[in-house]
Structure 1
Amino acid sequence: MRVVICGAGQVGFGIAERLAAEQNDVSIIDSDARRIQLVTEQLDVRGIVGWGAHPDVLARAGIDQADMLIAVTLHDEVNMVACQIAHALFNVPTKVARIRAQTYLAQEWSDLFSREHLAIDVVISPEIEVGEMVLRRLSLPGAIDTVSFADGAVVAAGVICAEDCPILNAPLQQLTDLFPELHATIVAINRNGRTIVPSGMDQLHAGDTAYFVSQADQVERTLTLFGYDEMPGQRIVIAGGGNIGFYVARELEKRNPQARIKLIEHDKERAQAIAEATERVLVLNGDALDHSILDEAGVGEADIMVALTNDDRINILSCLLARQIGARRILALLNEQGYAGFARGLGIDAHVNPRQITVSRVLQHVRRGRICGVHALLDGSGEIIEAEALETSPLVGKALRDLNLPDGVRIGAILRDHKVLQPRGDLVVRAHDRVVLFALAERIKRVEQMFRVALEFF
């Protein structure tokens, strides 16, 4: 696949890294020559210095031969114009744009991105995507990563196995007999930095991070079996009133009438605007690293402190201060990939990575075959994928035990007629089933082939 990416920031670099590793032909555009130098030194991609909204720059990047344009610069307007030019002048089949300003996404302007107007095929809003991820984390204490599939019917979640985890040191194939109430399938294990796709004979060890797939209404019960039985917190302090912090506060106010929400925002005008736009959110104007402001926000009695500023260091430090003061749980927004392990070592319960979330959304539209959803895990070492099995798929008509799936692939759940089915050995896959599975990065091409339209791809 030939792809042109506009923007070589964290998101653009992350997308280019994944696509180049999968042997796609990638060109990346950025107005910053230093960024282009860095990306071309580290990745096997073509770099072009210039503005992605200029036709001549797009032409130099090979847009006339591209299958897809992905516009993820920091400027919405550049992204939109780049997509329009790719459509009007170069007839690019698929155009993806990152749109951050919520006014463009308002319901009353829903026709803006139609083919008759701006001709953008896929609009990605990082603030909404990340905000929803934060809200899922708040609703599922104990999970370090959560994502929904199959229109919300299936959830994949990650959990750290503590020393007292009840299901340690037992073969996975015996867990159903030992714990009949376990309605989940463990699809991946991260042990000492290495990602494992387990077989039935594998066991969980203390310190492992396990990823399981479950019916949505069984996730809390599954977390309990891992030793996490906390109720969602009702006393919530949010540090940062940017687009993500405001979205989370406003949605919490709507979805959880019992929640007591306090928000700390450094900018006085922004704090005032949030106070006027919400009804039950107590907004404090101050610094999230100021001990007196944290005390005023009641962090010592908070069920959870959520740090959502634009600065990773402030997020980490404010969470550590909150923990020291007495917050029961802490969650941080971390943009830098390398901070994740560092933050966990400091005792931060969970983190959200906006780049990983945005890259996952883009990959959903890059993947070939009938791919419905994608979420990258564990620094890109694997993906949870939702795909539809067509009549020509080699999966259809066979019991799962007879599928002979490649190593590095494990099915977690199947959705059939709005019903979630666990992947038992005698279950026969039918046409139009939606399959949720985990695949190591090096097996993703094989997964795409399993869900393509025609048999000649095999």
Structure 2
Amino acid sequence: MRVAIVGAGAVGRSIASELLGNGHAVMLIEKNGSRVKPKAVPGAEWVQADACEVTSLEEAQLATCDVVIAATGDDKSNLVVSLLAKTEFAVNRVVARVKDPRNEWLYTEAWGVDVAVSTPRVLAALVEEAVTVGDVVRLMSFRKGAANLVEITLAEDTPWVGRPVRDVPLPRETVLTTILRGERVIAPDPDEPLEAGDELLFVTHGDIEEQLQRVMCPDGSC
């Protein structure tokens, strides 16, 4: 997979190193010449250019990328990059960093954003996920809530403990993607029995989360 990362600050470089380690081709685009340091991320392609300019992105051949990550420290720049990547270069997947959580409402499909990542929101969700049992915790939103990745930890007194996955009547347009059990990552086979303490990861719509809560914890059993 070919990935373009706009912004070669600490965040952009860290993402680039991780993706390179996973075998992907990475192009770092940075406007500030003082941040263009090829030795900092060996193996990445470096381009010094203003990613808010269409001509710069054309020269960088952005259309050849499968994913664009707007990772600058400026929300306005990230939104412009996202919009250009989606509308001018038809990039399949656009991920954008939210610097200021107050601007998160802007990061929508209208601006070309498929996934918006707000560090404060992610950290808060991880804290909730670690201490909350029986409640639906939203970990990440896709297309501004059109689909969400949510987690629920099964309490000991939930009626689904000991029963197979197939018995759980999930709401419409809800998919159980993963079961985390201790150090194990389990694909949710229909015959897999659920256990207390299982962390279940679902993809669902925002307006269905309450239904999912009621299914997993009927009568407030959790």
TM-score (normalised: structure 1): 0.36
- Does 1:287 find its partner at 2:50? yes
Q: Which has the larger radius of gyration?
A: 1
Once the two structures are superposed, residues 76-123 of structure 1 have per-residue CA deviations (whole angstroms, 9 ceiling, x without a partner) of xxxxxxxxxxxxxxxxxxxxxxxxxxxxxxxxxxxxxxxxxxxxxxxx
Q: For 1:34-433, what aligned pairs fall within 5 Å after superposition? A: 233-234=1-2, 236-256=3-23, 259=25, 261-272=26-37, 275-323=38-86, 326=89, 328-335=91-98, 336-341=103-108, 344-346=109-111, 348=112, 350-354=114-118, 355-368=120-133, 375-377=139-141, 384-390=150-156, 392-398=157-163, 412=176, 415=179, 419-423=186-190, 429-431=194-196
Structure 1 residues 309 and 441: alpha-carbon distance in aligned structure 2, compared to 1, 3 A threshold: farther
Give the aligned residue type for 2:16: A
**Counterpart of 1:182?**
none
Structure 2 gap ranges (5+): none
**Counterpart of 1:440?**
209
CA separation in 2, counterparts of 1:429 and 1:389?
A: 11
CA separation in 1, counterparts of 2:56 and 2:140?
A: 37
Q: Is the 8 A contact 1:373 1:385 kept in 2?
A: yes
TM-score (normalised: structure 2): 0.66
Structure 1 residues 403 and 450: alpha-carbon distance in aligned structure 2, compared to 1, 3 A threshold: farther
Secondary structure in structure 2 of the residue aligned to 1:238: strand
CA separation in 2, counterparts of 1:398 and 1:365?
A: 24
Q: Is the 8 A contact 1:398 1:428 kept in 2?
A: yes
Q: Name the % identity.
A: 20
CA separation in 2, counterparts of 1:340 and 1:333?
A: 8
Give the aligned residue type for 2:83: L
Secondary structure in structure 1 of the residue aligned to 2:69: strand
CA separation in 2, counterparts of 1:329 and 1:297?
A: 17
- The CA RMSD over aligned residues, in Å, is 4.2
* Structure 1 residue 240 displacement after superposition: 0.8
Once the two structures are superposed, residues 365-421 of structure 1 have per-residue CA deviations (whole angstroms, 9 ceiling, x without a partner) of 34246x89752546599762242453x44333456787789x89x672674776433
Give the aligned residue type for 2:30: E
CA separation in 1, counterparts of 2:198 and 2:87?
A: 49
Secondary structure in structure 2 of the residue aligned to 1:337: helix
Secondary structure in structure 1 of the residue aligned to 2:73: coil
Secondary structure in structure 2 of the residue aligned to 1:289: coil
Structure 1 residues 402 and 262: alpha-carbon distance in aligned structure 2, compared to 1, 3 A threshold: closer
Q: Is the 8 A contact 1:267 1:285 kept in 2?
A: yes
CA separation in 1, counterparts of 2:88 and 2:43?
A: 24
CA separation in 1, counterparts of 2:68 and 2:152?
A: 32
* Structure 1 residue 287 displacement after superposition: 1.9
Give the aligned residue type for 1:440: E
CA separation in 2, counterparts of 1:241 and 1:350?
A: 21
Q: Is the 8 A contact 2:177 2:201 kept in 1?
A: yes
CA separation in 2, counterparts of 1:414 and 1:325?
A: 35
Q: Is the 8 A contact 1:361 1:374 kept in 2?
A: no
Once the two structures are superposed, residues 191-215 of structure 1 have per-residue CA deviations (whole angstroms, 9 ceiling, x without a partner) of xxxxxxxxxxxxxxxxxxxxxxxxx
Give the aligned residue type for 2:79: I
CA separation in 1, counterparts of 2:186 and 2:130?
A: 25
* Structure 1 residue 325 displacement after superposition: 5.2
Give the aligned residue type for 1:352: A
CA separation in 1, counterparts of 2:42 and 2:6?
A: 18
Secondary structure in structure 1 of the residue aligned to 2:124: helix
- Choose between structure 1 and 2 for higher RCO, CA contacts under 8 A separated by at least 6 residues: 2
CA separation in 1, counterparts of 2:147 and 2:81?
A: 30
